Amino acid sequence: MFSCLRVFALAALAGAWLPAQASPPAKRSLPAWSGVVTYVVDGDTVRVRPPGGGKPVNVRIEGIDAPEICQAGGTASRDALMRRVLGQRVAVHGRRHDDYGRLLAVVTLRGEDTGLWMVRQGLAWSYRHRANAGPYAVEQRRARAAGLGIFSPSSGAPPVYPAQFRRQHGSCY
């Protein structure tokens, strides 16, 4: 049985063989494409008609989590996203499909990251997982400090992260 010191030394030695800039593997991406937003489901999910036509693709905006539609701020989040992207041509940079069959993707409108825009407006949270605060954590802190959208003091109750809301109340659907 190895002592902790030996395991540490072996791990350090193994690390010496790695390139100096070793980093986690990049997320595999699907080919980017553009299409027109035909429907806004909620503050983080849209339907985008592909360039050749056909059935619109359900796209979950990667990196954010918007309030559930039946949750405080849910309709405001959806409506703001609707005003921003409905009927607009967007670029879809897909990563993979989630458990519900939606394409997880960064969605950009005229080169601007829609997820980033939603978080900056205080309309969504940076999607967090375990200890990771998510890709837009800095923007979320700024929106919270400014009291924007879901973080507005006028809403009365403090905002509840959607995953916690679902655990407490179940799905809206």
Convert the pLDDT of each residue in 79-94 to its tens digit: 999 999 999 999 999 9
Q: What is the pLDDT of residue 69?
A: 93
Question: pLDDT digits over 20-45, tens only?
Answer: 333 333 455 788 999 999 999 999 99
Q: pLDDT-based confidence at 166, cuts 50/70/90?
A: confident
Question: How many domains is the chain built from?
Answer: 1
Question: pLDDT digits over 46-81, tens only?
Answer: 999 999 889 999 999 999 999 999 998 999 999 999
Q: pLDDT-based confidence at 150, cuts 50/70/90?
A: very high
In a domain, 83, yes or no: yes
In a domain, 12, yes or no: no
Q: Is the pLDDT of residue 19 over 80?
A: no
Q: Which of 2-11, 116-125, 144-153 has the lowest mean pLDDT?
A: 2-11
Q: What is the pLDDT of residue 90?
A: 98
Q: What is the pLDDT of residue 170?
A: 82
In a domain, 55, yes or no: yes
Question: pLDDT digits over 94-147, tens only?
Answer: 999 999 999 999 999 999 999 999 999 999 999 988 888 899 999 999 999 999
In a domain, 23, yes or no: no
In a domain, 65, yes or no: yes
Q: State the residue range of the domain holding 92.
A: 28-169
In a domain, 135, yes or no: yes
Q: What is the pLDDT of residue 97?
A: 95
Which one, of 48, 122, 23, lies nearest residue 80 by Cα?
Answer: 122
45-49 and 89-97 beta bridge pairing: unpaired
Q: What is the domain-level CATH number for residue 65?
A: 2.40.50.90
In a domain, 62, yes or no: yes
Q: pLDDT-based confidence at 18, cuts 50/70/90?
A: very low
Q: What is the pLDDT of residue 27?
A: 55
In a domain, 152, yes or no: yes
